Amino acid sequence: MPKKPSPSCSECGQLNCYRRDKKFPSFCLTEASDPKELEKVVQRYRSNSGDGRIARAAAEVEGTYYGKLTRVEEIVAFANRIGARRIGIATCIGLIEETRAFIKVLKAKDLEPYAVLCKVGSVDKTEIGIPEELKVQKGSYEAICNPIFQARLLNEQKTDLNVIVGLCVGHDSLFMKYSDAPVTTLITKDRVLGHNPAAALYTCNFYYKRLLDPEQKL
Ligand code: SF4
């Protein structure tokens, strides 16, 4: 018999770690944590390290502007609080107009944007072993998304904060792995749902019930 996976926070009906106004469940991840390990992490947030400054700046933006600012504005507020001036943008080609609009905003707020497109380097997909039939437009020159090179070029520019604008699932993973500067996301690409991936979850009990179909292999 395969071992039943242990329950985690998604099975918790209490969420008591937030305000401590209920009870911790028997399997609680907070209660099961090693206090020394937890303290090491808290110490990092408290410190003057980059991690500490980021943690406190993020909480300050949340607490000051909760429900008042758009994410575009929150990124500006966050950048200001961590002292970031050079803002790298790793953009998808399909969202270049949105990137251009974002750049106008950043400049208006006295920040220094620098964008690198996903197709930079212009390497054809077949050169990394992707078969012709997997191209979006078969038979044409079609460049790979090149997130490692995007990160390298932004690293050379010594950006202070990098912002993802619509990188593909997985390409974003590589970009985050290779970026020297901390990374945040402005747009999470969903080609079907107008870049609102949460809509699939809001509607998965009816319109998108295929999401819950174990027969649908992806
Ligand atoms: S940490 Fe504990 S209280 Fe918080 S959500 Fe997880 S199980 Fe629930």
Closest residue by Cα to atom 7, ligand 1, is: 28
Rg (CA), the chain: 21
Q: So what's the pLDDT on residue 2?
A: 67
Ligand 1 proximal residues by C-beta, below 6 Å:
9, 12, 14-17, 24-25, 28-30
Angle at 61 between CA 154 and CA 23, to 5 degrees: 115
Give the H/E segment covering residue 186.
strand 183-187
Of residues 124, 121, 123, the one with CA closest to residue 139 = 124
CA of 42 to the centre of ligand 1 (A): 17
Decide: helix, strand or coil at residue 19.
helix
Give 8: exposed, middle or buried? Use CB within 10 Å, 0-12, 13-18, 19+: exposed
CA of 18 to the centre of ligand 1 (A): 8
Asked if residues 72 and 105 have their Cβ atoms less than 8 Å apart, the reply is yes
Return per-residue pLDDT of the chain as tens, 218 residues.
Answer: 667 789 999 999 999 999 999 999 999 999 999 999 999 999 999 999 999 999 999 999 999 999 999 999 999 999 999 999 999 999 999 999 999 999 999 999 999 999 999 999 999 999 999 999 999 999 999 999 999 999 999 999 999 999 999 999 999 999 999 999 999 999 999 999 999 999 999 999 999 999 999 999 99
Q: Which atom belonging to ligand 1 lies closest to the Cα atom of 29?
A: 1
Closest residue by Cα to atom 2, ligand 1, is: 28
CA of 38 to the centre of ligand 1 (A): 14
pTM reported for the whole predicted model: 0.95
